[in-house]
Amino acid sequence: MAYKLIIGNKNYSSWSLRPWMMLKGFNIPFEEQCVKFNTEAFARIVPQFSPTGLVPVLIDGDVIVWDSLAIGEYLAEKHALMWPGDTTQRAIARSFCAEMHSGFGALRNRMPMNVRRKYPVAPEPEVAKNIARIEAIWTSARRRAKSTGPYLFGAFSLIDAYFAPVVWRFNTYDVKVNPACQEYMQTMLAHPAMKEWEIGALAETEIEPHDEPEYVYGRKP
């Protein structure tokens, strides 16, 4: 039986992108169910599987996993090579993912994921701190793994799926990063799964006003 992954709007749902990218990036078969935010269907379907009432949710027969980081760990226990193979590298990658999972609130609030839009802004101080930290993470990872492949730890792994929404955020808001990070962003944007996600996001017509730049920035240019 293939996995089933319940996700929200592709244009906005950064949390949904992560496990979707994990599955697609490793060619793991799954059934996708996209339930749009702020609809009767979302209120009816998602709480049946997620005690938090949030997406994403991974269903594997009788097993239900409802957090993106937990989904990644669950998949990595069932499929080989999803984390870096080296013990030290794997520990560092997990630490970076945990940091992303629990932090960067200013970036999330002021640069919500919006795949359809291009909206250059000058980052505010707290957002700039978040950006600098992410740039440091990416630079550190690429320095360690540059000779082994183009992704953060060489080969594509769960950490790349976990930072995929950040790549979209930086792309939407025209965030300036150093050449190594820019090269990594281009690698990610060229990934077939990222392109497929973008096609799905562009096909959506729903608008979530609170996640549109004009709302966040008070219609400032």
Predicted confidence (pLDDT) per residue in 61-98, tens digit: 999 999 999 999 999 999 999 999 999 999 999 999 99
Which helix (H) or strand (E) element contains residue 45?
helix 40-49
Predicted confidence (pLDDT) per residue in 92-113, tens digit: 999 999 999 999 999 999 999 9
Which has the closest alpha carbon to 20: 206, 167, 10? 10
Interval 157-180 mean pLDDT:
98
The C-alpha angle with vertex 152 and arms to 151 and 157, in degrees rounded to 5, equals 75
**CA 12, CA 19: separation in Å to the nearest integer?**
15
pLDDT of residue 145: 87
pLDDT of residue 219: 61
Predicted confidence (pLDDT) per residue in 8-60, tens digit: 999 999 999 999 999 999 999 999 999 999 999 999 999 999 999 999 999 99
Q: What is the CA radius of gyration of the chain?
A: 17
pLDDT of residue 220: 46
Predicted confidence (pLDDT) per residue in 189-218, tens digit: 999 999 999 999 999 999 999 999 999 998
Q: Residue 221 pLDDT > 50, yes or no?
A: no
pLDDT of residue 146: 79
The C-alpha angle with vertex 62 and arms to 158 and 33, in degrees rounded to 5, equals 60
